[in-house]
Amino acid sequence: MIKVIINGFKGRMGQALVNCVPQHQELELAAQVDAGDDLAAVIGSGDVVIDFSSQAATVGVAALCAQHQKALVIGTTGHSDTETFEIRKLAKAIPIVWASNFSTGVNTLFWLTRKAAEILGPDFDLEVVEMHHRLKKDAPSGTAKTLAEILADVRKVRLSEAARHGRAGIVGARLQSEIGVHSIRGGDVVGDHTVIFANTGERVELTHKASSRDTFANGALRAAEWVVNQPPGIYDMQAVLGLK
Ligand SMILES: NC(=O)c1ccc[n+]([C@@H]2O[C@H](COP(=O)([O-])OP(=O)(O)OC[C@H]3O[C@@H](n4cnc5c(N)ncnc54)[C@H](O)[C@@H]3O)[C@@H](O)[C@H]2O)c1
Dump pLDDT digits (tens) for 125-142: 999 999 999 999 999 999
Same domain, 34 and 76: yes
Q: Enter the pTM of the model.
A: 0.90
Mean pLDDT within 148-152: 98
Same domain, 195 and 117: yes
Nearest CA to ligand 1 atom 40: 76
Using a pLDDT cut of 70, give the percent of the chain over it. Answer: 100
Same domain, 93 and 148: no
Same domain, 194 and 218: no
Question: Given this model, what pLDDT does residue 242 score?
Answer: 87
| pLDDT 10s digits, 53-67 | 999 999 999 999 999
Q: Which domain holds residue 177?
A: 104-210
Q: How far apart are CA 233 and CA 242, in angstroms?
A: 16
Same domain, 56 and 112: no
Q: Which residues line ligand 1 (CB under 6 A)?
A: 7-8, 10-14, 33-35, 52-54, 57, 75-78, 99-102, 138, 142, 216
Mean pLDDT within 197-209: 98
Query: What is the number of structural domains in the chain?
Result: 2
Same domain, 138 and 182: yes
Question: Given this model, what pLDDT does residue 82 score?
Answer: 97
Q: Clarify whether 136 is annotated catalytic.
A: yes
The answer to whether the peptide bond before residue 231 is cis (omega within 30 degrees of 0) is no
* Ligand 1 center–CA 167 separation, angstroms: 29
Pocket test for ligand 1, best of 52, 74, 101 (most atoms within 8 A of CB): 52
- Structural contact between residues 53 and 8, judged by C-beta atoms closer than 8 angstroms: yes
Same domain, 15 and 93: yes
Q: Report which ligand 1 atom has the smallest distance to the Cα of 56.
A: 31
Q: Is 179 exposed, middle or buried (0-12, 13-18, 19+ CB in 10 A)?
A: buried
Same domain, 196 and 222: no
Same domain, 157 and 190: yes
Question: Given this model, what pLDDT does residue 197 score?
Answer: 98
Q: Clarify whether 156 is annotated catalytic.
A: no
Q: The domain spanning residue 223 has which CATH number?
A: 3.40.50.720
Q: How far apart are CA 205 and CA 105, in angstroms?
A: 15
